Amino acid sequence: MLLEADRMRNLVLTEDMIATERDVVLEERRSRVENNPGAILGEEIDATLFQNHPYRVPVIGWMHELAQLNREDAVAFYERYYAPNNAALIVAGDVEPAEVLDMARRTYGAIPANPELPPRIRPQEPEQNTRRTVTLRDQRVTVPSLRMNWVVPSYTTAEPGTAEALDLLSEILGGGTRSRLYQELVVRRGIAQQAGAYYRGTALDDGSFVVSGSPRGEASLEEIEQAIAAEIRRIVDEGVSEQELERARNRFIRNMIFARDSQATMAQIYGSTLATGGSVEEIDAWPNRIRAVSAEAVREAARRLRPEIVTIGYLLPPASDE
């Protein structure tokens, strides 16, 4: 804590240090994004999915902007945001809470609060009314794939029970080998080599719901897309059974219990929740909120995945010369 408290306000940044670290970040972007067609497509999808919100900008930044970072920018950001009154301290392990609190008061508590912290002005997404597609062809792609993306409420912005229903919908629809998409597309019909769904619900503003798939053998992306749409429509039309819902609930709650075996994972859960406006009480109550989700709530969540209002990303090999 002495080290981190000192670093919070007394960091020394030289021009040489900035230049070196800027090169590190540029190389990180090259290795993680520029060298990965899937990552490039993911950035392009987000830039299309979010029309107004800063979530359309990559966390690491665009390459041309990274190249222009300088000491003045870094120091201005550091002095504006790095203060105890803009931080959450997470300590995980076999410790005495009273001792931890005393240490925090003696270290971080000795640093004056930053009165210059500005209010958070957060642009919001307008109502979405269109179907958009993003297509990337790359010579490194050997197997095509697609991702269907919808803007949906997050745990922060949703009405009570909605985010939990979206979480369970992602588990039922595409959360592993027992999910509907995997069983239908991979096991029964054999037209896909992978299919899944994911709910990104931990954002401070609206999140997104993603469904993905890639074809097997002679199957086409069009077949995969139609099959995914059919499974979503089945849930909208017929709902889910109580047995299916209970199994999804149990998997979610079991994963939360197993997560407690890792100090780092638990610290991440609490830290990310507190940083996005949540509370410890909400984390503790989450299993009961998952248990309270009804089959009708999951069906209602599926109605948000409208086929006429979606952003679809296609990752394709180079076009043939035919």
Give the Cα separation of 145 and 14 in Å (integer). Answer: 45
Q: What is the pLDDT of residue 9?
A: 87
Give the Cα separation of 158 and 98 in Å (integer). Answer: 35
Q: Please, what is the angle between helix 263-275 and helix 242-259, to 10°?
A: 110
Give the Cα separation of 172 and 194 in Å (integer). Answer: 15
Flag whether pLDDT at 167 surpasses 90. Answer: yes
Flag whether pLDDT at 321 surpasses 60. Answer: no
Flag whether pLDDT at 320 surpasses 80. Answer: no
Q: What is the mean pLDDT of the chain?
A: 93
CB-CB contact of 111 with 84 (8 Å): yes
Give the Cα separation of 156 and 205 in Å (integer). Answer: 7
Flag whether pLDDT at 266 surpasses 50. Answer: yes
Q: What is the pLDDT of residue 55?
A: 95
Task: For the chain, give percent helix, strand, coil, nearest 5.
Answer: 50, 10, 35
pTM: 0.91
Residue 213's pLDDT band (cuts 50, 70, 90) = very high
Q: Which residues contact 223 (CB under 8 A, 6 or more apart)?
A: 191, 215
Query: Checking phi first, is residue 277 left (phi over 0); if not, alpha (psi -120 to 50) or beta?
Result: left
How confident is the model over 4-18, as a mean pLDDT? 92
Map tokens 């021009």 to a residue.
15
Could you give all domains of the chain from N- to C-terminal order, each with its CATH number?
A: 2-110 (3.30.830.10), 132-316 (3.30.830.10)
Share of the chain above pLDDT 70, in %: 99
DSSP alpha helix (H) spans, 30-160: 37-49, 63-66, 71-81, 97-107
45 CB neighbour count, 10 Å cutoff: 25
pLDDT in tens, 61-95: 999 999 999 999 999 999 999 999 999 999 988 99
